């Protein structure tokens, strides 16, 4: 009874053809250019921010500001290095893996990336943010002979860290959803190609 | 991601041409099932071909050419579907009947083609079930489907049984056109 729908299905797209290797090579080059442009924009933006902090350090002529800006730049360099090392680099051979295993590996990779965001993306920026805010408040307090700068800076810092925490929680929630998908795959598969490697997504 | 090939070779181009001669229609059907927008489906089809062409550098002949082609194609398509439809609630094949029963009767009757309804259903399935139903529709046996999907043939046979029941219940009349 299902033969008819199968026949209808296979009658679709019967004239579809492949592409000439030269055309595929052109598409591959266009893809590489797109990725290179995206990377260039990302790193140029980081370089611009670093340049702004170098200028702050130079303009303030205060060793505390120099140290704070150096911390910000070092933190940013760690983040950029993290972005670079986590660039998506699937090997052609990986695409030839059994679908379930490939899909599971992708989910695991995405889950692990989300769980580790705080470690390689958020944490490296924290010392710089705290130091910069403290130095700005300290210099402002000295110049105005008032503690008002600290009163402004503390809620600002609290707001920044609330945002960081919210990002962390959202990432954990997304990681839990991915873990649920992985568990579902493992339950529906009587021969999982790799053991379930659940991670703690409740921190 | 390196968009180019690790090593160029006539071998890869020959394998790609060989694969296209047999599987190009199946790859086009896969793209249209995963992506409903015609332009984006065409882009996905091109992406699948590009991935397939590049993949032959890593093809060591340990599995049949057809198994490799379907694996690469379905893995590429699954990545596309995952990027585009995170928000959509996907269902298991076991729950697909409910989905079809809940379909607007006017739409179901008025649907110009059974294949369109089938595509819409496939797009709502979880990745593993989507792979199985698509390979079943391409006429593959349970053992071959199992090798591509990474499931035992017993597990695939159970799924195929459900797929057959589903198709018989909701698509038995086929396409009137």
| Nearest CB to A99 within list B2, B32, B75 | B75
Lowest model confidence (mean pLDDT) among A92-106, B40-54, B122-136:
A92-106
Residue B90 CA to residue B84 CA, distance in Å, equals 12
Instruction: Find, in chain A, the residue whose alpha carbon is nearest to that of B29.
Output: A13
DSSP string, A104-147: HHHHHHHHHHHHTHIIIIIGGGHHHHHHHHHHHHHHHHHHHTSS
What is the rounded average pLDDT of the residues B159-174? Answer: 81
Q: Given this model, what pLDDT does residue B105 score? A: 55
A25 contacts B149? CB cut-off 8 A: no
> Is B19 in a helix, a strand, or coil?
helix
Chain-wide mean pLDDT for chain A? 86
Mutate to test the interface with B, among A3, A5, A106 (most CBs of B within 10 A): A5
Q: Given this model, what pLDDT does residue A106 score? A: 87
Chain A residues with CB-CB distance to B170 below 8 A: none
What is the rounded average pLDDT of the residues B120-135? Answer: 90
Instruction: Find, in chain B, the residue whose alpha carbon is nearest to that of A4.
Output: B174
With a threshold of 0.90, tell me whether the complex ipTM lies above it: no
Q: Given this model, what pLDDT does residue A153 score? A: 87
Percentage, residues of chain B above pLDDT 90 = 44
| Nearest CB to B71 within list A32, A35, A97 | A97
A99 contacts B131? CB cut-off 8 A: yes
Residue A140 CA to residue B67 CA, distance in Å, equals 68
In angstroms, the separation between the Cα of residue B103 and the nearest Cα of chain A is 19
B1 contacts A87? CB cut-off 8 A: yes
Of residues B170, B172, B146, the one with CA closest to residue B158: B146
| Nearest CB to A96 within list B32, B58, B78 | B58
What is the rounded average pLDDT of the residues A96-104? Answer: 90
Residue B154 CA to residue B159 CA, distance in Å, equals 9
Task: Read off the pLDDT band of A95 (50, 70, 90).
Answer: confident
The contacts of residue B63 (CB under 8 Å, 6+ apart) are A96, B71, B147
Of residues A52, A53, A58, the one with CA closest to residue A70: A53
| Nearest CB to B151 within list A29, A184, A189 | A189
Please indicate whether residue A190 or residue B138 has the higher confidence score (pLDDT).
Answer: B138
Give Cα separations from B102 to B34, B88, B93, B122, B168 (angstroms). Answer: 21, 17, 15, 15, 17
Residue B152 CA to residue A88 CA, distance in Å, equals 30
Is the CATH code 3.40.50.1370 the one for domain B10-84? Answer: no
B25 contacts A16? CB cut-off 8 A: yes
What is the rounded average pLDDT of the residues B111-140? Answer: 87
Chain B residues with CB-CB distance to A22 below 8 A: none
> Is A15 in a helix, a strand, or coil?
coil
Q: Given this model, what pLDDT does residue A32 score? A: 85
Please check the confidence at residue B169 and state whether its pLDDT lies above 50.
Answer: yes
Residue B103 CA to residue B97 CA, distance in Å, equals 10
Task: Read off the pLDDT band of B2 (50, 70, 90).
Answer: very low
- Helices then strands, counting H and E runs in chain A, come out as 7, 0
Please check the confidence at residue A188 and state whether its pLDDT lies above 90.
Answer: no
Q: Given this model, what pLDDT does residue A192 score? A: 40
Please check the confidence at residue A74 and state whether its pLDDT lies above 50.
Answer: yes
Task: Read off the pLDDT band of A191 (50, 70, 90).
Answer: very low
Is the CATH code 1.10.10 the one for domain B93-171? Answer: yes
For chains A and B, count residue pairs whose Cβ atoms are closer than 8 Å: 179
Lowest model confidence (mean pLDDT) among B59-63, B65-69, B84-88:
B84-88
Please, where in chain B does CATH 1.10.1740.10 lie?
A: 10-84
What is the rounded average pLDDT of the residues B59-74? Answer: 93
DSSP string, B59-101: --SSS-HHHHHHHHHHHHHHHHHHHH-SSSPPB-GGGHHHHHH
B5 contacts A95? CB cut-off 8 A: no
Please, where in chain B does CATH 1.10.10 lie?
A: 93-171
In angstroms, the separation between the Cα of residue B124 and the nearest Cα of chain A is 15
Please indicate whether residue B105 or residue A169 has the higher confidence score (pLDDT).
Answer: A169
| Nearest CB to B118 within list A9, A99, A189 | A9
Q: How many CA atoms, within 13 angstroms, populate the side-chain half-sphere of residue B168?
A: 7
Of residues B73, B44, B56, B43, the one with CA closest to residue B16: B56
Please check the confidence at residue B55 and state whether its pLDDT lies above 50.
Answer: yes
Give the model confidence (pLDDT) of A170-181 as tens digits. 999 999 999 998
Residue B134 CA to residue B34 CA, distance in Å, equals 10
Q: Given this model, what pLDDT does residue B6 score? A: 45
Angle, CA of B91, A194 and A109, to the nearest 5°: 70
Residue A70 CA to residue A75 CA, distance in Å, equals 8
Chain B residues with CB-CB distance to A185 below 8 A: 128
Give the model confidence (pLDDT) of B24-45 as tens digits. 999 999 999 999 888 999 999 9
Instruction: Find, in chain A, the residue whose alpha carbon is nearest to that of B144.
Output: A98
Q: Given this model, what pLDDT does residue A91 score? A: 59
Residue B23 CA to residue A137 CA, distance in Å, equals 67
Q: How many CB atoms lie within 10 A of CB A76?
A: 18
In angstroms, the separation between the Cα of residue B6 and the nearest Cα of chain A is 9
In angstroms, the separation between the Cα of residue A16 and the nearest Cα of chain B is 5
Give the model confidence (pLDDT) of A43-62 as tens digits. 999 999 999 999 988 998 89
In angstroms, the separation between the Cα of residue B40 and the nearest Cα of chain A is 15
Please check the confidence at residue A189 and state whether its pLDDT lies above 70.
Answer: no
Q: Given this model, what pLDDT does residue B3 score? A: 45
Q: How many CB atoms lie within 10 A of CB A46?
A: 16
């Amino acid at each position: 009874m299902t033969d008819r729908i199968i026949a209808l299905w296979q009658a679709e797209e019967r004239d579809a053809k492949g592409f000439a290797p030269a055309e595929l090579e052109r598409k591959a080059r266009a893809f590489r250019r797109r990725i290179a442009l995206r990377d260039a924009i990302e790193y140029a933006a980081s370089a611009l921010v670093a340049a702004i902090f170098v200028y702050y350090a130079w303009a303030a002529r205060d060793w505390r500001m120099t140290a704070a800006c150096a911390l910000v730049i070092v933190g940013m360099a760690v983040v950029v290095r993290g972005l670079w090392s986590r660039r998506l680099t699937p090997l052609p051979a990986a695409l030839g893996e059994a679908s379930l295993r490939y899909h599971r590996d992708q989910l695991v990779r995405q889950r692990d990336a989300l769980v580790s965001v705080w470690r390689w993306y958020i944490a490296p920026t924290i010392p710089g943010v705290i130091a910069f805010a403290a130095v700005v408040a300290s210099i402002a307090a000295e110049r105005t002979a008032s503690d008002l700068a600290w009163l402004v800076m503390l809620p600002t810092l609290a707001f920044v860290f609330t945002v960081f925490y919210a990002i962390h929680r959202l990432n954990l929630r997304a990681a839990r959803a991915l873990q649920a998908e992985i568990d579902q795959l493992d339950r529906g598969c009587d021969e999982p190609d790799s053991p379930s490697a659940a991670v703690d997504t409740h921190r | 991601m390196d968009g180019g090939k690790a090593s160029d070779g006539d071998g890869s181009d020959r394998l790609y041409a060989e694969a296209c001669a047999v599987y190009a229609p199946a790859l086009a059907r896969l793209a249209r099932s995963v992506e409903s927008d015609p332009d984006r489906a065409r882009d996905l089809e091109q992406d699948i071909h590009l991935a397939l062409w590049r993949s032959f550098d890593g093809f060591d002949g340990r599995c049949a050419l057809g198994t490799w082609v379907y694996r690469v194609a379905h893995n590429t398509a699954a990545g596309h579907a995952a990027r585009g439809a995170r928000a959509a609630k996907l269902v298991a094949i076991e729950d697909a009947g409910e989905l079809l029963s809940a379909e607007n009767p006017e739409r179901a009757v008025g649907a110009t083609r059974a294949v369109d309804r089938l595509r819409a259903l496939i797009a709502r399935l979880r990745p593993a079930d989507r792979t199985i139903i698509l390979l079943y529709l391409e006429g593959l046996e349970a053992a071959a489907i199992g090798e591509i999907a990474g499931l035992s043939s017993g597990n695939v046979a159970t799924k195929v049984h459900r797929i057959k029941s589903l198709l018989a219940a909701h698509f038995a009349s086929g396409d009137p056109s």
